[in-house]
A = this chain, B = another copy of it.
Amino acid sequence: MTEVEQADRFARAREAQSVALIEDYVEMIGDLIAELGEARVADIAERMGVAQPTATKAIARLKRDGFATSRPYRGVFLTEEGAELAERVRARHRTVVALLVAVGVPEEIAELDAEGIEHHVSEQSLKAFEDFLQGK
């Protein structure tokens, strides 16, 4: 492996990381809307395990990036793009957990680890996971 290839690999991992939090927030907001009809900042903050202003700031980034919308002092909603991302993330999470369990990781551990792992699973790996799970 050349230095450049190695560098690209790390650049890729850094990029994935910068997307990870966005994905988590979007999925969480989708969950809350499904459960409660809307996603309030306080609920988002509580579930993400961060202080309320931290959630507010993250939501501002989601809005800036076109994944969410909201009016002051009101609930947060997903744009079409946000809703699609949430669904992809949810599906990927399920697949990663299932894969981990399939290779012998205890269910609880699988759920914990998947939260971090899922953001680094490429389309190709996801496809491989799905095929493996179907016994192909």
Q: Which residues of A contact B (CB under 8 A)?
A: 3, 6-13, 16-17, 20, 24, 46-50, 99-100, 103-106, 109-113, 115-117, 119-122, 124-125, 128-129, 131-132
Contacts and interface: CB of A to CB of B under 8 A. Distances in A.
State the 9 A-B residue pairs at the shortest beta-carbon distance, nearest first.
A7-B49, A116-B120, A104-B128, A13-B116, A103-B132, A105-B128, A117-B120, A109-B124, A13-B115
Nearest to A31: B6
Given A7-B49, A9-B112, A10-B49, A105 B119 contact: no
The DSSP consensus for interface residues of chain A is helix
A116 B7 contact: no
A119 B14 CA distance: 12
- How many copies the complex holds: the figure is 2
B120 A132 contact: no
Contact of A106 (B7, B24, B124): B124
B46 A3 contact: yes
